[in-house]
Structure 1
Amino acid sequence: MMWLDHLEDANRALFLLINAASQPGPVVMPLAVFAANGLIWLIPALLLVGWLSGHETIRRQALEAALAGLLGLAIAQCVSLALPHARPFVMGLGQTWIEHAPDNSMPSDHLTLLWSVAASFVLNPSARRLGIALCLAGLPVAWARIYLGVHFLLDMVGAALVALLSAAVCRQQRAQVVGLLFNLAVRVYRLVFSVPIARHWLRR
């Protein structure tokens, strides 16, 4: 279809506009690499802190967000198989400044995970501010992964759509799915970490 060709042309043009075509400066490069590969670790750290807080409400929020992230990644894999799209460096476009496997680019797994968790928090009124902050944290990640040559802009748009879908599904099904898995997760946690819990190193 002609409109798809135009969309692909725009996608490539926007990539070349954002991608670092020449050697990035000594300040920009480490910041971009950190944003591309480091900020994602906010997600497991926040979920872990939420769970270890010991508060049931926060634990349920963390579990729902974790499930949204996992569902988002699963949907992303299906999208990648259904709509395969090569990465910029596979197509010989722009410059690539970090190593990456030559797999399909659509959608970005990093952004899918980050924004799925963020969207889950946004849909939860008591965690909305945290969700908005995480959504904003995803913007430099999106920029950096394009800037460093491993993704297109539409990969980030795809990640946002998948994230919204996964978070909405988990929110709608929270009473059934989260309710069922929460009790199981608590039992497993208390069994595996029974010693540090008994010594009051971790909250029950």
Structure 2
Amino acid sequence: MESLNQTLFLWLNAPEHPGALTLMVAISLAEWFIWTVPLLIGIGWLRGSENTRKTMLVATASGLLGLLINQVIGLAWSHPRPFMIGLGHTLIPHVADSSFPSDHLTLWWAVAFSLMLQRGPRIAGIGLALLGIPIAWARVYLGVHFPLDMFGAAAVAAISSWLTLREVRWYLEPSYRLASGIHHRIFGRLIALGWVRE
């Protein structure tokens, strides 16, 4: 399996001197698109109904659980990144920690899968899930992940989104009350002006 992982990596990894446009697109996908997740959740919370806000909380819980599962996996089994074993070309800096599964894609897909499993924003979830594929390519292309790290991320994301939806009765209402209290405290003036939804 490791031999296949490395072979696929070398097939997808960037050449030593990639084209400027391809490099720019890959870096944008790999490093900047992740900010779409908190932006989407923030907009959904600030402008959405109570149901939308609860959907965003479940998606947030899914992402956080996925990252927690990744930490446990990384502690139990530390898998080196390609540059840690001198494989391929690395075109962006990255800390030398465990590569499996990808935190980036776990967070992305955990939120996407959560939205897909819930009633309201399924189209947004499908769009995010599909956009995760070029992000996964970019992380491998730039040399910071192996292909199997992405399959691991998808598996963890699927588990975390399923678990957080299955156990929603245990945490959603208290977390919604807490988040609503913080929301009113921070945005009280903007709510009064009608710029932010109550």
Whole-angstrom CA distance in 2 between matches of 1:81 and 1:148? 25
Deviation at 1:196, TM superposition (A): 1.8
Whole-angstrom CA distance in 2 between matches of 1:41 and 1:138? 13
- TM-score w.r.t. the length of structure 2 is 0.97
Question: Secondary structure in 1 aligned to 2:83?
Answer: coil
Question: Secondary structure in 2 aligned to 1:41?
Answer: helix
Deviation at 1:22, TM superposition (A): 2.6
1:140-151 alignment to 2 at 5 Å?
Answer: 140-151=134-145
Question: Secondary structure in 1 aligned to 2:82?
Answer: coil
Deviation at 1:182, TM superposition (A): 0.7
The equivalent residue for 1:74 is 68
The equivalent residue for 2:16 is 22
Whole-angstrom CA distance in 2 between matches of 1:41 and 1:187? 25
Aligned pair 1:62/2:56, yes or no? yes
Aligned pair 1:88/2:82, yes or no? yes
Whole-angstrom CA distance in 1 between matches of 2:43 and 2:21? 31
Which of 93, 104, 116 is 2:110 aligned to?
116
Shift in alpha-carbon separation, 1:202–1:181, aligned structure 2, 3 A: same
Deviations 1:153-190 (A, max 9, x none): 11101100110111011100112211221111111211
Deviations 1:2-49 (A, max 9, x none): xxxxx0000001000100123111210000000101111110010000
Q: CA RMSD in A?
A: 1.0
Deviations 1:99-156 (A, max 9, x none): 1111110111110100000010011132211111100110111000000000001110
1:129-144 alignment to 2 at 5 Å?
Answer: 129-144=123-138
Counterpart residue identity of residue 193, structure 2: R
Question: Secondary structure in 2 aligned to 1:62?
Answer: helix
Deviation at 1:96, TM superposition (A): 0.5
Which of 166, 170, 174 is 2:168 aligned to?
174
Counterpart residue identity of residue 159, structure 2: L
Give the fraction of aligned pairs with identical amino acids, expressed as a percent.
Answer: 45
Which of 37, 42, 50 is 2:36 aligned to?
42
The equivalent residue for 2:2 is 8
Identify which range, 65-74 or 175-184, moves more after superposition.
Answer: 175-184
| Count of aligned pairs | 198
Which of 97, 105, 108 is 1:103 aligned to?
97
The equivalent residue for 1:52 is 46
Whole-angstrom CA distance in 2 between matches of 1:169 and 1:150? 29
Deviations 1:78-97 (A, max 9, x none): 11111210000010000000
Aligned pair 1:33/2:38, yes or no? no
